Structure 1
Amino acid sequence: MDFEDTALYRDITDFAGDSPMWIQHGAGLWTEAGLLVFALLFAAAWWRARRDTPHAFAIAALAPLATAVAYVCSEVLKSAVTQERPCRAVAGAAASLAECPPHGDWSFPSNHATIAGAAAVALALVRRTLLWLTAPLALLMAFSRVFVGVHYPHDVVAGLGLGTLVALVAVRLGTGPMTRLAGAMRGSPAPAARWVTGPGPEPVPSYGTHARP
């Protein structure tokens, strides 16, 4: 393990241990509650896209799917690297604020950071201005995983990068097929399919021109 990364982990966890109790509790809560916040943002983006074009709906529908793909990629990489958690491997470090995961629940990369990075980017592809909200949320979630002592800094940096890359690729590759599927579902005779995709944008009223007599 890189000495500087281990030293940075020690510095952050020492600071966490000396921080006020409300900060410790807040970090512990956010490290899990942040996932719920992103889930709610996905739901809001989907609901809004039901009255948008099939292309816009496709990106909104792909956002949580791309995040799920990023999570699977993170799990596969974890199984290949098998890096022990710092709360178990770094001798003499401050006690972790969160329960240290058991041996076999590997550290690299951070699943939470991967999900946060993928969700932040995917939601920004739905609506660009959302990046001002999702990017800070993702960075805060990633940092919280080091703060509570269950990840090295490089774990969360790698997770953010992996999530970003997978989300960009997944949305780019899936937008075309998903757009066609959304169009087909909106024209489907099945009420459930039409409800999921929504009615689409309201038609623009056309005003006919009247010929002069």
Structure 2
Amino acid sequence: MRDFGTDRRVGGAARVLSFSGEHGALWLAAGITGAVADRERRAAWLRATALVGTAHLASMGIKRVVRRPRPRLAARLPLVRTAGRYSFPSSHASSAAAAAVAFGALRPAGRGLVTPLAAAMCVSRLVVGVHYPTDVAAGALLGGVTAGLGAKWMRGAHVRSL
């Protein structure tokens, strides 16, 4: 997968996704935008955004316990710098999967945009060379489960805000 980063377009896109997903920034901004734009479901959007943040924070906590070093390939340097030394699980994947589940539940028509973007962000972590596939899979699972477990809480806000 890392070899795809040698293509300038693929590597460039992966770097953009990596940067925009740092600390869940893209997904947090999307959730806040949803809360501002969709006044009727503002509370649900804010709860969905909180689920994204929760998944990201859980991922960071697990990293501190597991302490798995990032991949080091002698032949290639990573295409991006990272905020931390540890790779398991991928926090980018955690927040992306949580956003796909939570925002997709709020805006089913938007799943066609959010889900592929979240998947691309997950793949980008492999392309830029800062994660093992198991890091990304575990991060995506963590994010999806976090948002899935919080879905009832999120929907409760939607019902009360109508």
Partner of 1:98: 80
Partner of 1:209: none
Cα root mean square deviation, aligned: 2.3
Larger Rg: 1
Of structures 1 and 2, the one scoring higher in RCO (CA 8 A, sep 6+) is 2
Alignment of 1:59-138 (within 5 A): 59-87=44-72, 90=73, 92-99=74-81, 105-138=85-118
Partner of 1:207: none
Distance 2:88 2:15 in 1: 20
Q: Unpaired runs of 5+ in structure 2?
A: none
For the 8 Å contact 2:51–2:150, the answer to whether it is kept is yes
Q: Deviations over 1:130-151 (max 9, x none)?
A: 1111110001001111101111
- Equivalent residue of 2:86, what SS? coil
Residue among 17, 23, 28 paired with 2:10: 23
Distance 1:94 1:160 in 2: 25
Distance 2:153 2:49 in 1: 15
Distance 1:73 1:169 in 2: 14
For the 8 Å contact 2:35–2:43, the answer to whether it is kept is no
TM-score by length of 1: 0.66
User: Could you tell me how far 1:64 is from its partner in structure 2?
Assistant: 0.7
Distance 2:26 2:57 in 1: 20
User: Could you tell me how far 1:72 is from its partner in structure 2?
Assistant: 1.4
Percent of aligned positions that are identical: 31
TM-score by length of 2: 0.85
Distance 2:82 2:45 in 1: 35
Cα 1:170–1:93, aligned 2, differ >3 Å: closer, same or farther? farther
- Equivalenced residue count is 160
For the 8 Å contact 1:14–1:94, the answer to whether it is kept is no
Asked if residue 159 in structure 1 is aligned to residue 144 in structure 2, the reply is no
Q: Unpaired runs of 5+ in structure 1?
A: 1-11, 184-199, 201-213
Q: Larger % of helix: which?
A: 2
